[in-house]
Amino acid sequence: MATVTRFEDLEIWKLSRVLSKDICKIADRDIFKTDYKLKTQIKGAVGSIMDNIAEGFERDGNAEFKQFLSISKGSAGEVRSQIYRCFDNDFITEEEFIDLKLRCEILSVKIKNFMTYLQNRDFKGNKFK
């Protein structure tokens, strides 16, 4: 793995950013006006994925970074659950549901794999090589 000096270079952050953008666009549809709580929850949870990756990276510590990645992975699960709620309430189509659910699952696996990678490294601090 090449040296990473910015969280913006991490694939998991890039994927979470695109997912956040897409889910926020969906949540801004008029149909979500009937469930404002779900709208704010899903937007907050999807933002939490990318924000915790960034915050953990900026902490400059391997152990802290893994903890923030764990939170990020949990948020991906939360978003996945909320996607079910969106589908069950006819806020999204079946195609959107399948796509978003799959993207959340892939992102969760990638976050877990990155956590495993960090677990198996001796380095501390911001030497993410």
* DSSP H stretches of helix in 1-129: 11-27, 36-58, 62-88, 94-119
Which pLDDT tens digit goes with each residue over 55-94? 999 987 888 999 999 999 999 999 999 999 999 999 999 9
Which pLDDT tens digit goes with each residue over 93-129? 999 999 999 999 999 999 999 999 988 876 555 544 4
46 φ/ψ angles, rounded to the nearest 5 degrees: -70, -35
- State the pTM of this model: 0.90
Q: Which domains does the chain have, with CATH numbers?
A: 7-119 (1.20.1440.60)
